[in-house]
Structure 1
Amino acid sequence: MRNLKKHVRNASLFLVLGLGVQLSATAQEAEFGVKAGALYNMPSYGSSVSSSDSKFGAQAGVFVRTTAKVYLEGELAFSTFKSSYTYEQKKFNPTFYQLNLPLQVGYRLVDTEQMTLRASVGPQVNFNLKKNQATTNADFKPFTFDGLVNIGTDFDRFSVDLRYNHTINKTSAELDSRNRMVGLSVGYRF
């Protein structure tokens, strides 16, 4: 538990310091907001898994985004999703509860008074809040790292984002598994 607190604290400090340095170096303004939406998990498994199903999930969180044409965006989100697969003729149905910390660099492709169209990429750190059994003898890793691609639009104070995440490291070595997720979220900027 002590390591968990240390990792969450360090990740939060990294986000705050990164945004602080970026904001002060360029004297940019930032906008803050909340977001929520749906996830669709399409995990990939190695040959040891005989069948698997894609499942829906949900996400909610807060974000901060600089207002320049080239922008930096950080988030802290909670997500939950399920997985279903058969390993060694035994069915597994884990439910994941995660804290997600993405940090993105983006570009505003269209930026008018009526709307903004933007695209961004970046890394994401995921921490499993609940231990899940991957196989009879092994658990899923507590930390995973994703690469993400996002496209979004802003109208007035509302945002809509479509995102694809792909896990870089294996979520379970025994299953040779990685998460692939598509997320659609709606946000409100203050």
Structure 2
Amino acid sequence: MKKCIVGLGIFFSLISSAFSQEFSYGLKGGVNYSMGGQITGESSGVGNWDETIEGTPAYGFHGGVFGQVNFGKFFIRPEVVYTSLELDFEFPEKTSTYSVQKFDIPLMIGYNVWGPLDIFAGPSYSNILDSALMGNELEDPIVVQNTPINAQIGAKVEFGRFGIDVRYEHSLSNAEVQNLDIVRSEYGVNRAYFDDARINQLIVGVIFKIGGPGLNERRRRACY
């Protein structure tokens, strides 16, 4: 992961030197609305909870850096982002939170539709740092995704240094069934299966541009 970050830093520096009038960079951060997940209780045994429930969407957050190289109306936008996600599972006795922390490296290809409005899409490499379901007693980590690549699509608007970025991320992994052993006395569930640990998300971020062209652009005053 460190090699990826260093490599992106070198990439930003080289691109900035080669395209000084077309390269911009800055910070970004905001909220994430997580969706997905499914758990089924094991039906064997008298009185065991054996229902299937889906994850209740919850909010997380993200923060990171970006660079953007413009080629006329088209652009390439690499990013490095830390992301924290959550989903809630409403078990019989208590709600359990499924949390995931990861580093994302999206590489977006975009197009300027009009003025400040851009659209973009591309792959996002995800490095899972930690994943856990509250109440699960098994030591094996939860496999969030069996491929590191997700897909993103979105749009953004920028005015001078500031902008708003809205995008959707879809997991490209296959669902992978995993065993769970949950504290029954606390959650009302014993053995269960994580049928689908994948998370899709709606991402809303605020952009702050540190360097690049058009940082001090303002709307022109009308002349009378």
TM-score (norm 2): 0.66
Residue in structure 2 matched with residue 77 of structure 1 by the alignment? 81
Contact 1:72–1:104 under 8 Å retained in 2:
yes
SS in 2 for 1:67: strand
Q: Deviations over 1:45-101 (max 9, x none)?
A: 3767424211011111110011331110011111112112268x9964222222111
Residue in structure 1 matched with residue 119 of structure 2 by the alignment? 119
Map residues 16-27 of structure 1 onto 2, 5 A cutoff: none
Task: Provide the aligned C-alpha RMSD in A.
Answer: 3.2
Question: Structure 1 residue 157: deviation in Å?
Answer: 1.2
Alpha carbons of structure 1 residues 150 and 22: separation in structure 2 relative to 1, 3 Å: farther
Question: For structure 2, which runs of at least 5 residues remain unmatched after alignment?
Answer: 42-51, 179-194, 211-224
Contact 2:89–2:98 under 8 Å retained in 1:
no
Alpha carbons of structure 1 residues 131 and 40: separation in structure 2 relative to 1, 3 Å: closer
Deviates more, 1:36-45 or 1:171-180: 171-180
Residue in structure 2 matched with residue 187 of structure 1 by the alignment? 207
Map residues 89-104 of structure 1 onto 2, 5 A cutoff: 92-104=96-108
| Identity within the alignment, % | 20
Contact 2:144–2:199 under 8 Å retained in 1:
no
Query: Aligned match of 1:41 in 34, 39, 58?
Result: 34
Question: For structure 1, which runs of at least 5 residues remain unmatched after alignment?
Answer: 1-7
Query: Aligned match of 1:162 in 162, 166, 191?
Result: 166
Question: Structure 1 residue 180: deviation in Å?
Answer: 1.2
Q: Which has the higher contact order (CA 8 A, sep 6+)?
A: 2
Alpha carbons of structure 1 residues 18 and 32: separation in structure 2 relative to 1, 3 Å: closer
Alpha carbons of structure 1 residues 14 and 147: separation in structure 2 relative to 1, 3 Å: farther
Residue in structure 1 matched with residue 63 of structure 2 by the alignment? 60
2:17 & 2:173 partners in 1: Cα distance? 33
Contact 1:168–1:178 under 8 Å retained in 2:
no
Map residues 167-178 of structure 1 onto 2, 5 A cutoff: 167-170=171-174, 172-174=176-178, 175-178=195-198
1:142 & 1:25 partners in 2: Cα distance? 39
Question: Structure 1 residue 110: deviation in Å?
Answer: 1.1
Aligned residues: 179
Contact 1:141–1:171 under 8 Å retained in 2:
no
Map residues 122-137 of structure 1 onto 2, 5 A cutoff: 122-133=122-133, 137=138
Contact 2:62–2:84 under 8 Å retained in 1:
yes
1:171 & 1:23 partners in 2: Cα distance? 41
Larger radius of gyration: 2
1:171 & 1:130 partners in 2: Cα distance? 18
Alpha carbons of structure 1 residues 22 and 75: separation in structure 2 relative to 1, 3 Å: same
2:94 & 2:150 partners in 1: Cα distance? 28
Contact 2:57–2:87 under 8 Å retained in 1:
yes
Query: Aligned match of 2:109 in 105, 121, 132?
Result: 105
